[in-house]
With several copies, the nearest count.
Chain A
Amino acid sequence: MTDYNQMEMMIVIAARELENGATVGVGTGAPCAAAMLAQKTASPDLVIMFEAGGISPDLPEMPISVGDSRTFCKASMAGSMSTIMSSCARGFVDYTFLGGAQIDMYGNLNSTTIGDWESPKVRLPGSGGANDFASFCWKMMVMTPQDKRRFVEKLDFLTTPGWLEGGDSRKNSGLPENAGPHKIITNMAVMDFEPESKRMRVISLNPGYTFEDVQDNCGFALLRLEDLPVTPAPTREELSILRTQVDPGRVVIGR
């Protein structure tokens, strides 16, 4: 079996989620690597958009910033933040990848403060465009290590909307209809959200992990499918493209 690290595994899984012809709003790092890998494998017509204004660039290398020159290199348009966010708001962007210091069972994210907001233990960057992307893009996804300190019962701060309090709570919040968290991809498993309760649900296990491994590294009770398939491992081709064409500098996948 091919040797790969956990970041490579997550990027490959994420890339497979992005079907050809879809639009995805990405940031830097792993999400951008996943989108670039998708373009070089099954989804050559995947359209990448960056919050700061870049639309459908021909990325010559991994951007350092979502606003650097790579993000609109040979692009269809170098617009503005409002070009991108208004396109998201009127339903043109299918996917987005977001992250945070904490995530709860409804896929809500915290990137604002650890500890009390009034006197935080750690002040983090805040929403940035994450709240907007998560509100507007049809399917929000997260790539993150499976870790009790990240998967928490209660967020210190709800920066970015997932399914909020679950059930119909997002539907009733005023946020655009039928958009919300789609998949959570970790080093151990892939999760979606149970349609009624909107609670996080394990739908496949990455090679070498059991449901117990996942639950032991999660701060809340996870739902699961009765029969849990094994997430297909990265293929040689996927890994070789990722390592040689997407991230040759190993900035994201590491050394």
Chain B
Amino acid sequence: MDVLEKGSGAVFTDPDPDKLRAFFQTKSRIKKDKTMSLALAVETFVKDGDYLGIGGFGANRTPIAACHEIVRQKKKHLGFAGHTSTHDMQILSAGRVYDRIDMAYGVGLEARGLSGCSRKYLESGEVKVSEWSNYALSIRLQAAAMGVPFLPMRSMLGTDTFRFSGAVAANCPFTGKKMALVPALSPDVSFVHVHEADIYGNARFEGIAVADIELANASKRLVITCERIVPHEEIAREPHKTQIPYFMVDAVCEVPFGAYPGTMPNAYFSDEPHLKEWMAEERDPEAFAQFLEENIYGCKDFQAYIDRNGGMEKMRQLRRREFMTDGEAE
């Protein structure tokens, strides 16, 4: 195809679908028990230098427990899909675990403001950045999931977002119209947090899907963290509810409240005071180092972090907030 324009941004992952096919050809299709601890899953499936994908939307159904574990295990030189990422990126930046990023949304925590830590890390020059829009990253994941090297889209054109991305522009052979073509993105490893999964990895969730189905199907290795493991028979009774098929999944980790301090639809709402505390602590490097020690490095697991921050009573309170039965107007 005639390339009319080309962004200057790096493409951190190989969009070649035949290489992805060769990898998936060797991936087991057997329905076997994939349950393990999150610590073991991160140890086993996240290698230094891997390109990482994180599901959910910022602090909504986001595998926060996985982000803690990745930082706790001091993973290094990861690539990161900065797609609708807020508190997840804040944690990964605190651990300095990544050194290249496809940046669609990050640094910010939406209406809550900017993460000083994420900001300083990106401003430090230690991180290689390519720019994209959120939908562009969704479409890049979808391309990998579809086994094609690229997909066309109609945003980004004419902007610096395009110029600093790895996209190209070309004319449609049917209409002659200029399209942005974005390369397939297949993370080496991704984490998705769901409500329910069986031991094989068949997974389902409630509420919005964001781009988790694209992410799950695009990722070479996939770890499912879930609020609860359910019997396979329960999944098989209503198979149309399954959103992620077991054969994509490498590990299933039962992590109750694994999206805390973010929101889990119909389960618990975000812990806004704690998220504010995070942002406040970031201001003073020494205080923040101490905060990280207490909340991540010094915690043997995510349960210890939850216990530190209110434990079951806090979870029950956040459940009331989710259902707005706590009488509080935010």
Contact = CB atoms under 8 A, between A and B. Distances in A.
B269 interface: yes
A96 interface: no
**Number of chain A interface residues as a range:** 35 or more
A131 B208 contact: no
B18 A176 contact: yes
6 contacts: A65-B86, A65-B110, A69-B265, A85-B134, A90-B24, A131-B155
Minimum-distance CB pairs A-B, first 3: A174-B178, A89-B147, A91-B21
Contacts of A71: 208
Interface stretch (A22-30, A208-216, A235-243): A22-30
Contacts of A119: 123, 125
Contacts of B123: 119-123
Given A75-B239, A80-B213, A65 B60 contact: yes
B290 interface: no
A79 B245 contact: yes
Contacts, number: 298
Interface stretch (B26-34, B36-44, B280-288, B303-311): B26-34
Given A53-B209, A72-B239, A79-B208, A123 B122 contact: yes
A30 to B, nearest CB: 10
Given A112-B131, A126-B105, A248-B329, A64 B178 contact: no
Nearest to B198: A76
Given A52-B60, A128-B133, A175 B157 contact: yes
Interface stretch (A158-166, A194-202, A222-230): A158-166
Q: Name A's interface SS.
A: loop
Given A131-B133, A136-B155, A174 B177 contact: yes
B10 interface: no
A127 B165 CA distance: 12
B157 A173 contact: yes
A112 B156 CA distance: 13
B330 A249 contact: yes
B104 interface: yes
Contacts of B266: 69
Interface string B265-277: 1100110100000
B203 to A, nearest CB: 10
Contacts of A176: 17-18, 21, 147, 154
Interface residues of B, number: 98
A153 interface: no
Given A67-B57, A68-B263, 12 more contacts: A28-B111, A51-B134, A67-B61, A68-B59, A81-B211, A83-B245, A85-B134, A85-B135, A90-B24, A157-B160, A159-B159, A174-B158
Contact of A82 (B119, B138, B242, B245): B138
A23 B209 contact: no
Interface in B213-247: 213-214, 217, 232-233, 235-237, 239-240, 242, 245-247
B64 interface: no
Contact of B324 (A60, A127, A132, A170): A60
A136 B107 contact: no
A221 interface: no
Contact of B131 (A64, A127, A155, A170): A127
Contacts of A170: 158
A239 B60 CA distance: 32
B159 A61 contact: no
A62 interface: yes
Nearest to A77: B242
A54 to B, nearest CB: 6
Contacts of B232: 76
A159 B161 contact: yes
B46 interface: no
Contact of A127 (B119, B132, B245): B132
B217 A128 contact: no
A7 B311 CA distance: 39
Q: Which of B125, B132, B148, B209 has the most CB of A within 10 A?
A: B209
Nearest to A130: B133
B11 interface: no
Contact of A65 (B111, B138, B153, B202): B111
Interface centre among A66, A131, A164 (most CB of B within 10 A): A131
Given A123-B119, A129-B134, A64 B21 contact: no
B180 A82 contact: no
Interface in A164-220: 164, 169-170, 173-178
A251 interface: yes
Given A58-B236, A92-B24, A122-B123, A80 B210 contact: yes
Contacts of B92: none
B207 interface: yes
Interface in A120-155: 120-132, 134-136, 138, 155
B190 interface: no
A61 to B, nearest CB: 6
Interface string A12-31: 00000000111100011100
B322 to A, nearest CB: 6
Given A68-B263, A120-B123, A126-B103, A135 B148 contact: no
